[in-house]
Amino acid sequence: MPKRMIDREALVDHAYRIAQEEGLSQLSVRKLASACGIAVGSVYTHFPSKTDLTNAVIGHHFTEAVVADFCHMRPGEGFVAYLRRLEGAMHKVLATYRRTWLEEIQRLPYEERLIGHQAEARHFAHISIGLLQVLAADPQVDRSRLVGPLSPEALCDMVTDHLIAALRQGSSSQTLIALIENALYPVATTSGNAPTGANTSRHTGTAIHSAEGVQR
């Protein structure tokens, strides 16, 4: 009988379902192989260790939860409006993560637990890359102000760091977002909905592509 073949993505999908249904600490290479109807060695071909498998599953969680919520700009959405939506999405994602995954991660062996926390930080760090794309696509932003400490890279890195810090502290980023609104848009557009709902319909599309291995 020919051996059943399965690719890495399918393995991660199966492993993710096991982690959701039984808990991350219950996931094992042997259990995954049994669920997929393949030999244990076939799993090790894609994941040399249980830690590698755990890392992939946690990464899949953040890709599903984070990217699905805010990877696309909406028609007519400017940078500030996107920031406000992003903050809300991040609070939702982290709340779910803490409720369903964080306790499970604490039960893992130290090495796997460390991988979990690193995966969280790495996936949130990708936000800065997406913010750069959103900022570049907003025609209402006064480009002459994006210099020095307010260069696009410096601004997006700072915003990302602040959003993550505020998220972990359970505080709001609305004051920072309001300051950014006043700093980036011409005075004539700071009233009403122009900055937060600027006409950017021609710039819709993917804003964040979570690319593994990209580090700030």
Q: How confident is the model at residue 11 (pLDDT cuts 50, 70, 90)?
A: very high
Asked if residue 80 lies in contact with residue 194, where contact means CB atoms within 8 angstroms, the answer is no
Distances (CA, A) of 122 to 44, 118, 167: 24, 6, 15
Q: Provide the token pair at 90.
A: 């991040």
Q: Mean of the pLDDT values across residues 199-214?
A: 38
What pLDDT score was predicted for residue 196?
44
Higher pLDDT, 174 or 126: 174
Secondary structure of residue 72 in the 3-state scheme: strand
User: Which of 49-53, 95-99, 185-189 ranks highest by mean pLDDT?
Assistant: 49-53
Q: Mean of the pLDDT values across residues 157-166?
A: 89
What pLDDT score was predicted for residue 31?
96
Asked if residue 78 lies in contact with residue 197, where contact means CB atoms within 8 angstroms, the answer is yes
Q: Crossing angle of helices 152-169/174-184, nearest 10°?
A: 160
pLDDT in tens, 87-117: 888 887 777 777 767 677 777 777 777 776 6
Look up the pTM and report it: 0.62
The per-residue pLDDT of the chain, averaged, comes to 79
**Least confident stretch, 58-72, 116-130, 159-173, 177-191:** 58-72
